[in-house]
A and B are shown apart, each in its own frame.
Chain A
Amino acid sequence: MSMQKYIKDFPILKRKVNGKKLVYLDSAATSQKPFQVIKVITDFYTNHNANIHRALHTLSEEATIAYEQAREKVAAFINAESTEEIIFVRNTTEALNFASFGLRDIVKKDDKILTTTMEHHSNLIPWQQLAKMKKAKLDFVDFDKNGYLDMKMLDRKINDAKIVAVTQASNVLGTINPIKKIAEKTKQSGSIIVVDGAQSVPHMPVDVQELQIDMLAFSGHKMLGPTGIGVLYARKELLEKMQPVLFGSDMIKRVSLTYAEWNDLPYKFEYGTSHIAGAIGLGAAIDYLTQIGMNKVRQHDIELTRYALNKVGKIATIYGPKKAEDRSGLIAFNLTNIHPHDIAAVLNQDGIAIRSGHHCAMPLHEKLKISASARASFYLYNTKSEIDLLVKSLEKINKIFS
């Protein structure tokens, strides 16, 4: 496979777990890091470490340049119009909290916030809280038995919505939602579309202008970058109307004892000392992904998912769409009468890392009438032979527990 040559870039994939070669199938939780990213972070702390935007000394200047270059890389990666639209945050969850609470002056009593029943808790609870705070209404679009969003229900509910918050790719069903279609509807109705890109931005080309997205949230650590760095993209005009959520240094321009004036974009939303090394590491991850090409990354996901749907589908119940093209690179599944924790524990004995539980999507699991599921997720460093190992272990588990 064409991706094979990249595996050697990931030092952790050489390690053994319980005496077996590690098979890492938990990239939807967090991805592994290539040495190119690790090296850039080490180099920053070794040679350039200083605080940014403050001092006039050489190190601070180097750090500031590297940090702002990372912002340029992010802007180019999602095709934002300008770097002013790229806010560095800690992760997708923080980005979505900034999105919701940043809109607190825009959302009024009885306004409607529309989201879906397939959201990760991070794209549900901030809206629940905002709705509560502003006495606004929270409404939901369901998904059908094949894991697709009910577009008829969406059509019925979208017209009077002030905000539409939707995930681009479900972290359980794998469903890739028709963001462009939904965004076009929000343009007609004049609502704001907020997209959870945690599972999509790392895995496929995402162009915010082409998709007409107003706000996009994603994490660095799911796309080969370090933990603790994420991004909130928002159209400039929207960011200008939004309020900061956390207050303190870096986000202010002028301060008196009783008054503060917010800094220019994007700094208005970046409070305190940022995760400088993290942003620079994310920049390196973007370089790495760009050099491979996001179309190729996506193609590889589709191939692995198609293979897994076929192979794992023979022995397990897999949730979500049947077509690999409609899914991101993950499968959530259950074996009959075996708790996902037991599946994960036995797989771990074979060196295979998967996730078990409700994957921070309890309403989704409730709707599927299951308490938990097992999830195997893929990235560019995974192979079909690793899926074969997964299937072999799952067959063994079926035997142990029968």
Chain B
Amino acid sequence: MREEIYTELIMEHYKRPRNFGKISKPDTIYSDANPLCGDEIKVYVKFSGKKINEIKFTGHGCAISQASASMITEFVKGKNFEFVKNLSKDDVLKLLGIELSPMRLKCALLPLKAVKMAVYSHLSKDQK
């Protein structure tokens, strides 16, 4: 039997997501989507040096994807590139505090992918 996934923590983040919204002049924007379920996310980041100074997201999706976006953006704020680069699936699951089936894992990991890609795209811009 699978454990309860709609925990208080998840529902709290889903109903009151942190960092939901746009940044007016972001250094980078990255959008991604999960075509299977129609989840969409757009990540806005502002850097100060190598640190993530501000991060926000918009989009829509299931409770797991929204809670995950809320928690990940909260987690990486103030951290540097290296930190984001090293984030893994297990880190996201630890944040969420639940176990997920392979299908639902995709919902949880979409925000991580978007955040990483936003940071990478900024890095590659920097190197040019």
Contacts and interface: CB of A to CB of B under 8 A. Distances in A.
Interface of A: 18-19, 339-342, 345-346, 349, 356-358, 365, 371-372, 400-401
Interface in B77-128: 104, 107
Contacts of A400: 6, 11
Given A18-B1, A372-B37, A339 B62 contact: yes
Contact of A342 (B2, B4, B62): B62
Given A357-B37, A358-B38, A372-B38, A341 B1 contact: no
Contact of B4 (A19, A339, A349, A358): A349
Interface residues of B, number: 20
Contacts, number: 47
Nearest to B35: A362
Contact of B62 (A18, A19, A341): A341
A13 to B, nearest CB: 19
B38 A19 contact: no
B20 to A, nearest CB: 14
Nearest to A17: B1
B16 interface: no
14 contacts: A339-B37, A339-B39, A339-B60, A341-B37, A341-B64, A341-B107, A342-B64, A345-B62, A346-B6, A349-B2, A357-B36, A401-B11, A401-B14, A401-B63
Interface of B: 1-2, 4-6, 11, 14-15, 36-40, 60-64, 104, 107
Contacts of A349: 2, 4
B2 A341 contact: no
Contacts of B36: 357-358
Contact of B38 (A18, A345, A371, A401): A371
Contacts of B15: 401
Contacts of B107: 341
Given A341-B62, A371-B60, A401-B14, 11 more contacts: A339-B37, A339-B60, A339-B62, A340-B37, A341-B104, A345-B104, A357-B36, A372-B37, A372-B38, A400-B6, A401-B15
Contacts of A372: 37-38
A346 to B, nearest CB: 7
Q: Which 6 interchain pairs have the tightest Cβ spacing?
A: A371-B38, A339-B62, A341-B62, A372-B38, A342-B63, A342-B62
Contacts of A18: 1-2
A356 B61 CA distance: 13
Contacts of A371: 37-40, 60
Contacts of A365: 38
A358 B60 CA distance: 15
Nearest to B63: A342
A357 B64 CA distance: 15
